[in-house]
Amino acid sequence: MTEFNGQLGRYKIIETNDNSPTLWSEFFDENCHSSAGAYQETLFNYVIPCVPKQAVTQGYHRILEIGFGLGIGLKATIEYQNTQTHYPIHFISLELDQLLIEWAIKNIKIEGFDLSKLQLVDQCYSYEDPRLKIDIYIGDARKTIANKNINNINGIYQDPFSPKKNPTLWTTQWFGELKNKSHETCLLSTYSASVGVRKSMIEAGWHPQSYSGFAHKRERTMATLTGPIDQKLEKKLRASSALALHDEGQ
């Protein structure tokens, strides 16, 4: 097991059942992925739902990932693009700890792409060619989303640490920010099936739906801004005493 110190404390790199690594964070006291398989979970929860085989808009298909971690989301997206799609992708990621990005550049191997091509300019690791554009922003996600030119997002990997450990990235206000940055056809996908999270999505204008979870997890959530509302799920949510999550003081 590899350990190293980041800006937020100590990290442990743990091999999961599909031989891909996940990360345990001392600061959040959580793993990033299921022990059943970090790469396969990323494909299941995020890439396959959010990267359609046919483009839905012209130009780059814009993916916003909340939490770069070890770069498994970028790796799975590029490798899926190389085999399953025929349109350009703009991959945008928000990461608080720069040392995680540096670890990924040195240690994560992506078929068809060398992470050392990323160039650091103004607190953002970037790369661009006609088929692939990458921007990995360093810093607090709430400030980044508010201050950077991030717009017309087509798919969102909502994958920060859990609501208990990282509550500011699961509130109604956060999902409202994401809505403001998204194309009307955007699909948001997350591993979470929390009632409070789903109520927060609804308050922000998203329409959550329940889907089967990865491995031993029973449910996960996907949400859209347009289209049919899952009335059965909303009835279930209304019957729960759990509250939507809000920023402090809201």
Q: What percent of the chain has pLDDT over 90?
A: 89
Examine residue 136 and state whether it is found in any structural domain, yes or no: yes
- As for how many domains the chain has, the answer is 1
**pTM of the model as a whole:** 0.95
Examine residue 4 and state whether it is found in any structural domain, yes or no: no
What is the average pLDDT across 185-206? 97
Residue 56 has pLDDT above 90, yes or no: no
* Domain interval for residue 80: 45-239
Give me the CATH number covering residue 197.
Answer: 3.40.50.150
| Interatomic CA distance for residues 106 and 86, integer angstroms | 28
Q: What percent of the chain has pLDDT over 70?
A: 100
| Interatomic CA distance for residues 98 and 127, integer angstroms | 17
Contact 212, 219 (CB under 8 A): yes
Mean pLDDT of all residues belonging to the chain: 95
What is the average pLDDT across 124-150? 96
Whole-angstrom CA distances from 224 to 88, 119, 175, 228 are 22, 33, 11, 9
Whole-angstrom CA distances from 130 to 50, 60, 86, 89, 90 are 20, 9, 12, 9, 10
Examine residue 30 and state whether it is found in any structural domain, yes or no: no
pLDDT (tens digit per residue) in 62-116? 999 999 999 999 999 999 999 999 899 999 999 999 999 999 999 999 999 999 9
pLDDT at residue 1 in the model: 58
Examine residue 97 and state whether it is found in any structural domain, yes or no: yes
Token look-up 């590899």 returns 2
Examine residue 24 and state whether it is found in any structural domain, yes or no: no
What is the average pLDDT across 110-132? 97
Examine residue 179 and state whether it is found in any structural domain, yes or no: yes
Examine residue 100 and state whether it is found in any structural domain, yes or no: yes
In this structure, what DSSP letter does residue 244 have?
A: P
Examine residue 215 and state whether it is found in any structural domain, yes or no: yes
pLDDT at residue 171 in the model: 98
pLDDT at residue 227 in the model: 79
What is the average pLDDT across 24-45? 93
